[in-house]
A and B are shown apart, each in its own frame.
Chain A
């Protein structure tokens, strides 16, 4: 009970902070922008960790999901909704984008019944490339030039709120029966099947939910940048997400938050290095994999994200 009160107070405090800090001018707009990127990356990392960390599959194409969420929500605010309504309906727009993305998640979920491991990784890769290629060829959406005209609806309170919602839902999912089932599939799919885990249904859930959150993050990204083009969602973006997941730690929510924060802030901090910062990043990744292959928090959680252990 006491833990719940503490957590609720923490959430309220964070939201207030996210609202007060930019509004009062204590945080300059550049820092606010970076914090928003950190938040969006946290959502993406949590989403990818569901598939790569908990389900134990290897998705290399999450930028494809993000692209769908970004384009769908951008289309809604630019073409469908009247401009004055957009700020009020922004959460619904994001959810709509997420739902469409979740449907796209089925494209990857169904092949995952028959193929696993490397071959499923290739399926996700192909999915990413196909989404990018379709967007590049849809002249109505601007083709390779991109799509613009979205109002800047993403702000720090919204980002923080969505990070908290994503974290809350992921945490409850991970500790639910579904989450246990996903981890059982990760350890041994055959054994999971034999202990009456409905592997197919759970795989569909995992991809649906993961795609949903990637779509939300895409929507936030689109309404932060106010400009999206297919190249923003290339395989390089997917690689960034992989780096964040494996930096923070697979199968760990704390790790996802940490990984996203460290990676985003580190890339900003290395900005003075110019082109060389893109050399340092991959080098860090290689060293990390060699010396700490499970990442910083692999398969471990911070105390406040653990389940309450019930003493008998």
Chain B
């Protein structure tokens, strides 16, 4: 019994890593703009396709590059392009609405998400694409557990990104500006900080992290289709809310909780089709009893 549970926890960590990486994008944008960027799941999808394109291109070169280099190349390429995409979306679609009612921005975000999905669909067609296996999937047996190099890689890359992000937000000037904006937006320009630049930077960062998540997801679950961002995006979004949206450590925590929910549901309930039900019921209950999530700041709206 113990190895099965441990194995499932390992799988949950693998999936939770991806959710945590995407949840970070939701939570950072919310922290700074108090806006739910519903297009973020689809930005992840684009990142996934871009890393697929890069990987296929590098594999096709007659250089016989080692898999590690291809992985690194695909990672950097998709992170860079997806970051540009994120900044462009903010500049073109969200910035004109900065002063508009907040609902307009949310609707626009839904529109951007649909646009990305359907644009990808119109260009690439509905057939799912397959990610080439870059990293060896042969399992090592460690004390009754089977661990693949890929799983190890996912956990290491995720941990690295999480630590770097935490340092960036807590230790650098840009991170300080981000925290300042989410704390008290009107004051920040008075301190000589360009709010627009910080917002652009946040979108670039969030999108790049989502692209990293896209590559890792593509390697672990190698079937891509243009609508994949919807379900994963929603799950990551729930992760962000469960952890307390706007809170970066909360998003990491929430990602791993949701990963556990998805992996452990089929262990308890008869079929995996109940996982959406479990996840959203969990979300509903949490919102009723702790409306701002596990690590979120309580709201003081009632006088």
Partner-B contacts on A (CB < 8 A): 52, 58, 111, 114-119, 121-123, 125-127, 129-130, 132-134, 136-137, 144, 190, 235, 239, 242-243, 246, 250, 274-276, 278-279, 281-283, 285-286, 289-290, 293
Contact = CB atoms under 8 A, between A and B. Distances in A.
B107 A289 contact: yes
Contacts of B159: none
Given A278-B118, A283-B115, A122 B287 contact: yes
B110 A281 contact: no
B284 interface: yes
Interface string B31-43: 0001010000000
Given A115-B291, A279-B122, A293 B104 contact: yes
Contacts of A239: 110, 114
A136 B291 CA distance: 28
A286 B280 contact: no
Interface stretch (B47-55, B160-168, B269-277): B269-277
A275 B122 contact: yes
A286 B112 contact: yes
Contacts of A118: 30, 34, 36, 106, 245
Given A190-B303, A279-B122, A289-B104, A114 B284 contact: no
Closest 9 CB pairs of A and B: A278-B118, A285-B111, A282-B114, A133-B277, A282-B115, A133-B276, A293-B104, A126-B280, A275-B122
A126 B121 contact: no
Nearest to B125: A275
B284 A127 contact: yes
Contact of A137 (B121, B274, B284): B274
B221 interface: no
Mostly, the B contact residues are helix
Contacts of B201: none
A125 B288 CA distance: 14
Nearest to A120: B287
17 contacts: A118-B245, A126-B281, A132-B276, A133-B273, A190-B303, A246-B107, A250-B103, A275-B121, A278-B121, A282-B115, A282-B118, A283-B115, A285-B108, A286-B93, A286-B112, A289-B111, A290-B96
B127 interface: no
A130 B106 CA distance: 22
Interface of B: 30, 34, 36, 93, 96-97, 100-108, 110-115, 118-119, 121-122, 230, 234, 241, 245, 271, 273-274, 276-277, 280-281, 283-284, 287-288, 291-292, 301-303
Nearest to B102: A117
Contacts of B114: 239, 278, 281-282, 285
Contact of A289 (B97, B241, B301): B97
A111 B284 CA distance: 9
A116 B34 CA distance: 14
Contacts, number: 118
Contact of B273 (A136, A274, A286): A136
Contacts of A136: 273
Given A111-B284, A289-B97, 13 more contacts: A58-B103, A115-B287, A115-B291, A119-B241, A190-B302, A246-B103, A275-B118, A276-B122, A282-B112, A282-B114, A286-B111, A289-B107, A290-B93
Given A122-B241, A129-B276, A242 B284 contact: no
A126 B273 contact: no
B118 A58 contact: no
A179 B19 CA distance: 42
A130 B281 contact: yes
Contacts of A286: 93, 108, 111-112, 115
Contacts of B245: 118
Nearest to A130: B280
Contacts of B96: 290
A137 B271 contact: yes
Contacts of A133: 273-274, 276-277, 280
A274 B126 CA distance: 13
- Quick one: which of A58, A133, A286, A293 has the most chain B CB within 10 A? A286
A122 B111 contact: no
A137 B277 CA distance: 9
A114 B291 contact: yes
Contacts of A127: 284
A129 B234 contact: yes
B124 to A, nearest CB: 10
Contact of A293 (B97, B234, B284, B301): B97
A114 B288 contact: yes
A285 B97 CA distance: 13
A231 to B, nearest CB: 12
A152 to B, nearest CB: 30
Contacts of B276: 129-130, 132-133
Contacts of A274: 122
A290 B93 CA distance: 7
B271 to A, nearest CB: 7
B115 A279 contact: yes
Contacts of B103: 52, 58, 246, 250
Given A275-B121, A282-B114, A242 B273 contact: no
B237 to A, nearest CB: 8
Contacts of A293: 97, 100-101, 104
- Quick one: which of B100, B102, B103, B288 has the most chain A CB within 10 A? B103
